[in-house]
């Protein structure tokens, strides 16, 4: 492991893990789902489950955060083969970005075409309420401004090009599909679209930071997703992402609100049913709207 000089994983390392997984199950997933904090229930949507604990998967990192179970679930969603990460990895856990995004490259080598990323996030947009679901239309990679990008280091062309475009990071057809599905399900009141900004965490943001991020154009702030999206686009998978607004970012010195992980997990529980409906319907409609997955 760590055969790459930047502390990352080589193509062969990723392939070894993908081949090991393929040897353990007949399911060949076309859609890969990543569950955000408190959103692990999304994996329960899958039928005919084949489950691996992260600790049993060669080369896989371990989940260390409450609300991230650390299980990789293969299964089907209305007959469609899927894989679901019940728990992701974050910078603040001490993992390098190449390790955080390793599962995304494994998705690719398993045959996944479309990645669905979910997260819990703080709402910066003053029109957002706790419980809103934001379809991510773009991102701001704050760690990237300081050179922290999962693609730093030698580029292996078998994954993708040296300089991948990110102006189309979030698939527009899938955003539209999600909006259509959300409206059909009667979720119009809490469905939004906006820009997600990633920070390193684990401390939540100060009031001044939230004000700055909002002025910069971010609608929601979190600690994940962007690195996975960049890695997925680099290797040619389509990306759809959504944020559950689990708390209002504190923007006012008069406010008594304090961001906390318990509220994040509770909001995830409160919206679990609608999120499962939304994500499962989107996933099962993907083939009807295009030929990619």
Query: Is 37 in the active site?
Result: yes
Q: Other C-beta atoms within 10 Å of 54: how many? A: 19
Given the residues 90, 139, 227, 234, select the one marked as catalytic. 90
Residue nearest to ligand HPA (CB): 122
Q: Does 172 carry a binding-site annotation?
A: no
**Any binding-site annotation on 224?**
yes
Rule CB under 6 A: choose which of 86, 141, 246, 280 binds ligand HPA. Answer: 246
Q: Which is nearer to ligand HPA, 150 or 222 (CB)?
A: 222
Residue 86 interacts with ligand LQZ7MJT6 (CB under 6 A): yes or no: no
Does the annotation list 234 as a binding residue?
no
Residues 211-240 that bind ligand LQZ7MJT6 (CB under 6 A): 222-224
Give catalytic status of residue 68 as yes or no: yes
**234 is a catalytic site residue:** no
Bridge partner residues of 117 (DSSP): 34, 241
Site string for ligand HPA, 78-117 (x = CB under 6 A): ----------------------------------------
* 120 part of the active site: yes
Give the count of beta carbons closer than 10 Å to the beta carbon of residue 80: 18
Place of tokens 């609100």: 257
Among 9, 29, 40, 90, binds ligand LQZ7MJT6 (CB under 6 A): 90
Q: Which of these is catalytic: 63, 125, 224, 243? A: 224
Among 264, 278, 286, 293, binds ligand LQZ7MJT6 (CB under 6 A): 264
- Contact between 88 and ligand LQZ7MJT6 per CB under 6 A: yes
Active-site annotation holder among 9, 18, 37, 218: 37
Continuous segment of H or E residues that includes residue 145? helix 142-145
Return the residue of 174, 223, 230, 278 that touches ligand HPA, per CB under 6 A: 223
| Residue (56 or 262) nearer to ligand HPA, CB | 262
Give the nearer residue to ligand LQZ7MJT6 in terms of CB position, either 27 or 142.
Answer: 142
Q: Smallest Cα–Cα separation from 242: which of 166, 135, 150?
A: 135
Cβ-Cβ contacts under 8 Å for 107 (sequence gap 6 or more)? 29, 32, 83, 115, 232, 237
Catalytic residues: 37, 68, 90, 92-93, 120, 223-224, 247, 261
Q: Which residues are annotated as a binding site for a purine D-ribonucleoside?
A: 205, 247
The residues of the shown chain that bind ligand HPA, judged by CB under 6 A, are: 120-122, 204-205, 221-223, 246-247, 249, 259, 264
The residues of the shown chain that bind ligand LQZ7MJT6, judged by CB under 6 A, are: 36-37, 65, 88, 90, 119-120, 201, 222-224, 261, 264
């Amino acid at each position: 492991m760590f055969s790459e000089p930047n502390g990352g994983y080589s193509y062969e390392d990723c392939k070894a893990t993908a081949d090991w997984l393929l040897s353990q199950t007949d399911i060949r997933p076309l859609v890969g789902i990543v569950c955000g904090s408190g959103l692990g229930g999304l994996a329960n949507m899958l039928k005919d489950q084949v489950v691996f604990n992260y600790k049993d998967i060669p080369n896989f990192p371990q989940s260390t955060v409450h609300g991230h179970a650390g299980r990789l679930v293969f299964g089907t969603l209305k007959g469609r083969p899927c894989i679901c990460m019940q728990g992701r990895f974050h910078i603040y856990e001490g993992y390098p970005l190449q390790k955080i995004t390793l599962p995304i490259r494994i998705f690719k080598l398993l045959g996944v075409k479309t990645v669905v990323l979910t997260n819990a996030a703080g709402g910066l947009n003053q029109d957002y309420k706790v419980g809103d679901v934001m379809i991510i239309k773009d991102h701001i990679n704050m760690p990237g401004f300081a050179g922290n990008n999962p693609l730093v280091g030698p580029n292996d062309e078998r994954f993708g090009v040296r300089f991948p475009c990110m102006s189309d990071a979030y698939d527009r057809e899938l955003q539209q599909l999600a909006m259509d599905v959300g409206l059909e399900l009667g979720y119009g009141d809490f469905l939004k679209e906006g820009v997600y900004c990633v920070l390193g965490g684990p401390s939540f943001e100060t009031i001044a930071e939230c004000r700055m991020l909002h002025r910069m154009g971010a609608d929601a702030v979190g600690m994940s997703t962007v690195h996975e999206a960049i890695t997925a686009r680099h290797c040619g998978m389509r990306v759809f992402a959504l944020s559950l607004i689990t708390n209002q970012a504190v923007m006012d010195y008069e406010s008594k609100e304090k961001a906390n992980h318990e509220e994040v997990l509770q909001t995830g529980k409160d919206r679990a049913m609608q999120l499962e409906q939304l994500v499962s319907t989107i996933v099962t409609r993907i083939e009807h709207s295009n030929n990619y997955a």
